[in-house]
Structure 1
């Protein structure tokens, strides 16, 4: 476990990057791909049929969410210690914002489990018709989707703070810091568009641009950690010693 002992070491940076990349891969599968294969907009009966017919994929999506949350816990802790020497307060605040996001994601799993139970079992809500059960399943999935709007607010806070810490640190290219801070606004814009301003076309277009920036910045930052595995500058190591 020596690789996890020194936040300024190359091996520590490489593990942090590996967890970050793992989040991107598992999250892309569970958050983007699986819903695209299961959820049919405005057709609860078809969505229920997909949950039943593609139940293995549906469960893999839930498993992907669990993997994301496990990797997130490691990323939260490791990023905190990596940037603690830049600012203890801001690094801790960034960690708390990201941990709040993970807490919301954990609660969202109950809605996925409830939708699966309604679709699969005839022993639940037996007084409801098939159409009513399908509508309730759709409601659970919509409540799960609403959870995304909530955790994106916490994630925006995290990215703003993380981007600032990256800029203050002399271990990483500044472009990552600016990209995380500017692009991170795409998440809160996406929440605003989905929740309150669905008819504002320009907002929908603007959020896509910001989300593209933050996606490239996050992946670039993760790859930089994993491939370049930057060590602390010699002067900083001397000061820590």
Structure 2
């Protein structure tokens, strides 16, 4: 437990980086790979046939999301204490925004569970026809996926603030911090393109550019934490 005693130490930073990497690996598995193996676009019957035939994989995907939530909670708390000396108020605001994101992600798991229960012939709604159950189960998955558009708003706020804390800390590369703040707009644009400004090819292109920037910045920051850790403190510009 001594590693948690000094938020400015290299060991503390490396552990924070380890949580970041855990989020990335578990997210790649649960959010990207598992759905690609089970979901069939536009075909609810095929999707839920895959889920019922691969119950272990579906459960593993949910388990991976739980791992993400645990790692997110730890990373959020550790980032708060790491950057509290830079600006306590903004560090707390960044933590609240990220925890709000975690709350939305946790709520999304209920819809995953509901979709599975509806698709299972032995569920409590077995009196419904198969088509009705699949329609309801498809709705649950759609609501689960819509949760992404909600948590991305909170994540935009978190990254915009965190990026400036990183840039002004004097202990991490300013370029990474500014890139995080700039690229954070990509998450907000992604939500807008999926909910309000649908079908805009130009917006999709711009969104992709910003998401590429923020992805590189986040990966770079995580690897910097994990491999190098904080530099000796140097004077940094204060917040106006």
Q: TM-score, normalised by structure 1?
A: 0.94
Distance 1:2 1:201, change over 3 A: same
Q: Distance in 2 between matches of 1:204 and 1:140?
A: 26
- 5+ residue gaps, structure 1, are 237-241
Q: How does 1:118-133 map to 2 (within 5 A)?
A: 118-133=118-133
Judged with a 3 Å threshold, the aligned counterparts in structure 2 of structure 1 residues 223 and 161 are, in CA distance, closer, same or farther, namely same
Question: Who is 2:31 aligned against?
Answer: 31
* Separation in 2, partners of 1:177, 1:235: 16
- Cα displacement (A) at 1:124: 2.3
8 A contact 1:166–1:176 mirrored in 2: yes
Q: TM-score, normalised by structure 2?
A: 0.95
- Label 1:206 to 1:234 Cα distance change in 2 as closer, same or farther (>3 A): closer
Q: Distance in 2 between matches of 1:36 and 1:204?
A: 21
Q: Contact 2:172–2:231 at 8 Å: present in 1 too? A: no
Match of 1:186 in 2: 186
Note if contact 2:4-2:12 (Cα within 8 Å) is conserved in structure 1.
Answer: yes
Where in structure 2 are the equivalents of 1:99-114 lying within 5 Å? Answer: 99-114=99-114
1-side partners of 2:208 and 2:233: how far apart? Answer: 37
Larger RCO, structure (CA 8 Å, separation 6 or more) = 1
Measure the CA separation in 2 of the matches of 1:184 and 1:168.
Answer: 17
**CA distance in 1 between partners of 2:121 and 2:225 (Å):** 46
Q: How far 1:50 moved relative to its partner?
A: 1.1
Consecutive unaligned residues in structure 2, runs of 5 or more: none
Residue 205 of structure 2 is matched in structure 1 by: 205
190-199 vs 96-105, which deviates more? 190-199
Aligned partner of 1:228 in structure 2 is 228
Query: Could you tell me how far 1:127 is from its partner in structure 2?
Result: 2.8
